[in-house]
Amino acid sequence: MQRDADALHATGVTGVAVRLETSRRTLTARSGVGDLVTHRPVPNDGYLRLGSTTKTFVATVVLQLVGEKRISLDRTVEELLPGVVSGTGNDGRTITVRDLLQHTSGLSDYIYDVFPDPGARSYFADRWRAYQPEELVALAMRHKPDFPAGTRWAYSNTNYVLAGMIIKKITGHTWEQQVHERILRPLGLRHTDTPGTEPFLPRPHTANYQQFAVDGPMVDTTIPYRPFDSGADGSMTGTARDLNRFFTALADGRLLNPAELAAMRTTVPVPRDSGHPAGTRDGLGLFFTPLSCGGGYLGHGGSGFGYVIRAATTTDGRRTVTVSAHSRPADPRTAARQEDALRNLIDHALCRST
């Protein structure tokens, strides 16, 4: 595992951290530096931005509400949020809760509206701006849907902004409050939080760096980009220890009833050009990815300016790993090499007997 962490660092990632937990023991590996100024080491179990891994927490809350008969996966968005998804060919009457959680809604991804000019200037100019969920959905509604709901798959953060709004509509409480009450407190995840627009990570943490232009400098982006880092689609923070505990509990049935867990693990194919490994399938807030040794793993990733995080667990929850890479390059070929190294690390970690 240390060799794999070093291999990921060798592709140009400034800092790498890995935490693998099995039924027998816990293994950790670190490579690179915690920041490029002091060259301090990557901290053990430092705080992380979870990015889109937040979606798995949100999907779990929705499925708990399904198990309580307070909502159905077949309810439409229009029934739950009247008039919110409409205009420019968008029709909430045709989109179900299941479509939102499985990215089969066809809704446009709002992130292209809040960061239209991919450069450091835009990051610094707009990183403090915050949007309400309704505003983000309204931005997406200016665009035609990519396809009729339920006919194809395409990842869209707009889906989970809507899921967070639905949780509030059903429970009368924010998705953040529901995540705390239903998941974080019962599992004792004291180092996981829903900070919203709070920009600062607790210490210790590794600095995140984004290269906005090929051959350009590494820009410290540890401060998040609020327009797409503050909602139900990607705002949570936590540690690898807590994240492993969450995915283990999810896989072994401690968070969902059998019927809802089965629904979460019922998958659709992910297109080959989606950036996911071959054979990846998407469930409800949970991806299934094949392993080289047979079978596969369940998990979700997250990314933002300057970081990539992946959490993965075997289908029985007996081996769980979280990997964080704390810089992102501008060169697509370098990014592809880093992605390959990250995938190999996860595959090796979950396939080896420990």
Nearest to 5 by CA among 27, 21, 24, 25: 27
pLDDT of residue 353: 62
Q: Which residue range is the domain that position 232 belongs to?
A: 2-351
Among the options 31, 52, 156, 230, which is catalytic? Answer: 52
CA–chain centroid gap for 223, Å, is 18
How confident is the prediction for the chain on average, in pLDDT?
96
Please give the tally of structural domains in the chain. 1
Active site residue 327: no
CATH number at residue 121: 3.40.710.10
Kindly provide the b/e burial profile for residues 181-205, where b requires at least 16 CB atoms within 10 angstroms of the residue's own CB: ebbbeebebebbbbbeeeeebeeeb
pLDDT in tens, 110-151: 999 999 887 899 999 999 999 999 999 999 999 999 999 999
pLDDT in tens, 195-218: 988 889 999 999 999 999 999 999
Percent of the chain with pLDDT over 90: 94
Nearest to 159 by CA among 97, 80, 68: 97
Burial class of residue 219 (count of CB atoms within 10 Å of its CB; 0-12, 13-18, 19+): middle
Residue keyed to tokens 């390059």: 329
Indicate yes or no: pTM above 0.95.
yes
pLDDT in tens, 23-70: 899 999 999 999 999 999 999 999 999 999 999 999 999 999 999 999
